[in-house]
Structure 1
């Protein structure tokens, strides 16, 4: 197969590039690889993710880290965040929490919501840095202010439990709803739990079902166990549905 001519990217319209990138995985990977080599930071970020996932190409975490670094050095904040993930998770090299923290902080301070979320998580756990839960809360707030669904859910937990802030169950419920509507499965589960406690069974079932569809197996199993232990027959029936689907 002939390589794509790199100068095509200087002439192609954004619509043509989008169409090429949206093709079958193997063909899209060729286009994105070529665009990355041409020097497009957005394509370098995307190709790094493709290599990380093995989507249309052989999985290669070392090469993925290299493309994330190239895009990050070009100023792409999402790539700086993903380079942090590589350092934190050991994708394509050794685990380096200090390097991960530095990547997250740089992108977070520039306003990237996922980096703010990841930085908050490391501060909360004390990973690569002394534990600082007040700063973690501050970064979760900054990400939540941008509508970041996972941060909205975690901020809801802070306010429901009274962690590092006065408990505010009304505000927590509102945050869970925003997280749920934003597609976060934990937010959907937490909202459903509040609705169930309030006796709004049908609404709770809707959100429990959405959480079960969008969540990984480990979370679904935990959810099934909790629903099976509830007194309401509707929730026990849903637990049985989840178990049957898993089988």
Structure 2
């Protein structure tokens, strides 16, 4: 039986209010989803907010995200939630972020489901609930959020919602890697190395390196250092070699501080 089948058999349907967070902010309760401004204007505000964020202008990014979120468009509300979760242009406010993610998730935004799952798994700004977090990650994965497969894999591997299931975790990591998540690829590599499947592990490390997500170089270096002879193999690889060099350079700079 698949993980999805097990969940459907063992757990009740997700109900409104299950996230154990306070009601959404008042101004988010005053209009239906899709209210004015038109969607093109909302997307423009989000693009401008992202550009400000990339430029390090957090205060300006927050202004654009707030303006977009007043439309109640689910993705815009999610981005405002991210601002409060991460402290972009404001003091970090996880409980407000949780409320916004809940509002956005009700509107069908997969990333809001993922972000609310992250907070719920940690009990950050809302009640800690591993089962609810798992259901939210499942819902996010169903909406194409590949990172959710990695998180479901971690829950299975660590037994956070029942017995540990390393085999199921590896399948989820491999699925997440196939869908384009570098962290899932790296976790797959870690599990494969632990089982002695070095060649398959190197292939997943190569995939992680190709995906090029932030901070992966350091973790690839840390993983290879734990297995004698692996670093030398990776250093000669056309894809992994530059990553290993970057990781070594970063470690040397850190050690010199």
Is TM more than 0.5 here? yes
Gaps of 5+ in 2: 1-36, 250-257
**Structure 1 position 85 matched with structure 2 position 82:** yes
Please name the residue that 2:172 is paired with: 175
Q: Which residue pairs with 1:155 in the alignment?
A: 152
Q: Secondary structure at the match of 1:40?
A: helix
Partner of 2:47: 46
Q: Identify the residue that residue 11 of structure 1 maps to in structure 2.
A: none
Q: Aligned residue for 2:15? A: none
Contact 1:230 1:236 in 2 (8 A): no
Q: From the CA coordinates, give the structure whose radius of gyration is larger.
A: 1
Q: For residues 39 and 147 of structure 2, what CA distance do their matches in structure 1 show?
A: 34
TM-score normalised according to structure 2 size: 0.71
In 1: Cα distance, 2:40 partner to 2:176 partner: 36
Distance 2:121 2:183 in 1: 18
Task: Give every structure 1 segment of 4 or more consecutive aligned residues whose post-TM-superposition deviation is greater than 6 Å.
Answer: 36-39
Deviations 1:71-120 (A, max 9, x none): 22223222111101111122112222221111111111222111111111
Q: Structure 1 85/38 Cα, relative in aligned 2: closer, same or farther at 3 Å?
A: closer
Is the 1:229–1:236 Cα contact (8 Å) retained in structure 2? Answer: no
2:127 alignment partner, SS class: coil
Deviations 1:129-166 (A, max 9, x none): 23222221221121122231111001011112221133
- Of Structure 1 and Structure 2, the greater helix share is in 1
Q: Determine the C-alpha separation between the residues in 1 that align with 2:161 and 2:40.
A: 44
Distance 1:65 1:87 in 2: 9
Check whether the contact 1:173–1:194 (CA below 8 A) recurs between aligned residues: yes
Aligned-pair Cα RMSD in Å: 2.4
Paired position in structure 1 for 2:134: 137
Instruction: Report the Cα offset of residue 173 of structure 1.
Output: 2.0
1:211-238 C-alpha deviation (Å, 9 max, x unpaired): 2342323x4223312212213x345432
Paired residues in the alignment total: 206
C-alpha distance in 1, partners of 2:119/2:93? 12
Q: Counterpart of 2:160 in 1: which secondary structure?
A: coil
Q: Which runs of 5+ in 1 are unaligned?
A: 1-35
Q: Indicate the structure whose relative CO is greater, using CA pairs within 8 Å and at least 6 residues apart.
A: 2
- The equivalent residue for 1:120 is 117
Q: Quote the Cα distance in structure 1 between the aligned partners of 2:235 and 2:47.
A: 38
